[in-house]
Amino acid sequence: MTPSTAIKLAPSILSADFARLGEAVAEATRAGADYIHVDVMDGRYVPNLTFGAPMVKALRPWTSLPLDVHLMIVEPERSIKQFAEAGANILTVHAEACVHLHRVVHQIKEAGLRAGVAINPATPVAAIEEVLPDLDLVLVMSVNPGFPAQEFISSALDKLHRLRRRLDVLGAQAEVEVDGGINEATAAEAVRAGATVLVAGSAVFNQRESVREAMERLRNAVGPAKLSP
């Protein structure tokens, strides 16, 4: 990453009001988000249940931003076509949920989507080493997936560093996204460690301030010059 790399913000609607998700997406879009992060949970891969492709389809008309869909589901290969048809742009699967990760990554690309792979806090970068050159995005989980508003696990910083070095050595172009516990205190550290896309749920959708104010706060924490406007 060069010092001038623009850092992207991807608000996670997991922390928004589920009764008005379309408006939340529109609000984040107006506030200058780069991606809309959509957390799909199946109650099996993670102990929580959210929504699926029909929700992606329902949200599609509310924004022209890329929908960054994070699949926390078992057998994600069964749902690729559905999410593509629903209007997803980036589809991220968990390495731990895929028996044949290489195949799944290529199925996502063949469906015309950008392919991402997520790794949990206990999963090493080495687990996805062989597919790094094929990826559009690597998602480093800085909490155990399933819930918003958990505490940032600091070992993710060293992992981000190692991932960044490995991508640079390979000349691979994948974006590096960090997800979980991102707030004013942790955002800058994550960026220094090599993250280029920050997912933030509870720090963006909260009762204290508007989405615009919350995103501004994150931008300032990272350093205004580094974030896209």
Residues marked active site are found at 39, 179
Question: Closest CB to ligand DX5 among 43 and 133?
Answer: 43
Report the candidate in 153, 166, 157, 156 with the shortest Cα–Cα distance to residue 126: 166
**Of 37, 114, 159, 219, the one binding ligand DX5 by CB under 6 A:** 37
**Of 140, 167, 197, 199, the one binding ligand DX5 by CB under 6 A:** 199
Give yes or no for a contact between 209 and 220, defined as CB atoms under 8 angstroms apart: no
Read off φ and ψ for residue 73, nearest 5 degrees: -140, 155
Of the CA atoms within 13 Å of residue 97, those in its CB half-sphere come to 25
In which element (H, E) is residue 138 found? strand 137-141
Q: Is 189 in the site for Zn ion (CB under 5 A)?
A: no
Question: Closest CB to ligand DX5 among 110 and 151?
Answer: 151
Give yes or no for a contact between 35 and 90, defined as CB atoms under 8 angstroms apart: yes
Question: Closest CB to ligand DX5 among 110 and 213?
Answer: 213
- Name the residue type at position 38: V
Which partner, ligand DX5, Zn ion, none, binds residue 227 by CB below 5 to 8 Å per kind? none
Q: For binding to ligand DX5 (CB under 6 A), which residues are involved? A: 12, 14-15, 37, 39, 70, 143, 145-146, 148-150, 179-182, 199-203
